[in-house]
A = this chain, B = another copy of it.
Amino acid sequence: MADSKGRYGKGSVTLVDVAELAGVSLATASKAINGKSQVRAETRAKVLEAARTLSFTPNPFAKALNATRTGTIGMLTSDLDNRFVLPVLLGAEDAFGAGSMSILLCDARDDAIREQHHLKTLLAKRVDGLLVVGRTTNPRPSITDGIPVPVVYVYAPSEDPNDLSLTPDNRQAGRLAVEHLLSRGRRRIALINGEPSYSAAQDRLVGAISALDEAGLSLVGGPGLFGQWSERWGRACVQALVDTGEPFDAILCGSDQIARGALDQLRECGKAVPRDVAVMGFDNWDVLAEDARPPLTSVDMNLQDLGRAAAQKLVLAIDGAQQSELLYGKVRVVPRESTGVL
């Protein structure tokens, strides 16, 4: 806060002012305010009262000069302009805010040079810890070496297994998706995947196949249907699938966007969803999923929880709890009409 004149700096009220008004010494005022035990209750009350009437706010810089903690953490994002980092950011902000930590935001625009620069800046500002948020779930280079504070990697795990990373469980996502379709009585499932360079695409495929395996089934059209994360790709694949004449009763799509394309094309091909074909996607992007025709079943990656968990881990690490592991965030199926009546 500021003084009555609404200014910082010279004009603002300091501990000395509070002490003066309370009629005690600087040291006593400090102890009273910081809840130290060696001060009479009565005195403490006086000080607190004085602090309140002056609307005293301790200068964080003077404080940080002695303390080891600064109460701020650095958030280093690779690409803010990405709808996946937003929920992570949100979750982290939520968790930190609850613990009265502030977050310093830096975005690297997916550029290593900028990342180095921002890293320097954050460390210069003496952040207590670092949260590194990736652009994809592909493992990314570690920055932990030589960094004097704890680092937690979210979304994109670190390549170094000695680091602490949190990433959504894409294998489990693939598995759950298939299990959901199986539970709806589907047996001939095709998978229209996204870009092969994304480990999310690969991992979901692995999960899906293993779930199918256990049921003695395999993917209609084969496991190699990689392409783009776009509606266009979804449409093209459905058309190709129909053209082959191979029967199928479900399409698992690598993303909600792909699923939207698939839905459109199925309609044009005269296939009813979910009667003839069940369709589901990944990400549970509400804007796309809820207004699809019919509303789209999707796997929610629980990104906000992931961000929250990462923040909590970081706080723990700052408090000295050394951890190094790769943690997988829980995911869940959100059923809607596209895979059958509820």
- Point out the residues of chain B lying under 8 angstroms from A93, CB to CB: 80, 105-107
Whole-angstrom distance between the Cβ of A42 and the nearest chain B Cβ? 27
**A270 at interface (Cβ–Cβ under 8 A)?**
no
Q: CB < 8 Å: which of B1, B83, B94, B291 contacts A123?
A: B1
Would B148 and A7 count as touching, CB distance under 8 A?
yes
Question: Do residues A124 and B1 form an inter-chain contact, with CB atoms below 8 A?
Answer: yes
How far apart are A65's CB and chain B's nearest CB, in angstroms? Answer: 5
Contacts of A8 in B (CB 8 A): 68, 126, 148-149
| Given pairs A93-B105, A104-B104, A232-B291, 13 additional interface contacts (CB within 8 A) | A2-B148, A7-B148, A8-B148, A57-B124, A60-B124, A72-B125, A80-B90, A81-B86, A97-B107, A102-B106, A105-B105, A261-B291, A264-B264
Chain B residue contacts of A70, Cβ below 8 A: 61
Q: Is A183 an interface residue (CB 8 A)?
A: no
Q: A257 within 8 Å of B by Cβ?
A: yes
List of B residues within 8 angstroms of A230 by Cβ: 291
Residues of B within 8 A of A105 (CB): 75, 93, 102-105
Which residues on the B side are within 8 Å of A89 (C-beta)? 80
Q: State whether the Cβ of A146 lies closer than 8 Å to any Cβ in chain B.
A: yes
How far apart sit A93 and B118, CA to CA, in the bound complex (Å)?
A: 11
A65 near B65 with CB under 8 A, answer yes
Q: How far is the CB of A27 from chain B (nearest CB, A)?
A: 19
Instruction: Report how many residues on chain A are interfacial, defined by Cβ distance under 8 Å.
Output: 56
Structural contact, B80 and A291, CB atoms closer than 8 A: no
Contact partner of A59 (CB less than 8 A), chosen from B1, B65, B94, B147, is B65
How far apart are A82's CB and chain B's nearest CB, in angstroms? 9
What mask results when residues 57 to 88 of chain A are scored 1 for a CB within 8 Å of chain B, else 0? 11111101100101010010000110100110
| Contact present for B65 and A61 (CB under 8 Å) | yes
Known: A2-B123, A8-B126, A102-B121. A83 touches B83 (CB 8 A): yes
Closest to A12 in B: B148
Interface string of A137-166 (1 = CB under 8 A from B): 000000000111100000000000000000
Can you spell out 24 A-B residue pairs with CB atoms less than 8 angstroms apart? Answer: A2-B148, A6-B147, A8-B149, A9-B68, A57-B123, A61-B70, A62-B65, A65-B65, A72-B104, A72-B125, A75-B105, A80-B86, A80-B89, A81-B87, A86-B86, A93-B107, A97-B107, A100-B121, A102-B122, A104-B104, A231-B291, A232-B291, A257-B287, A257-B291
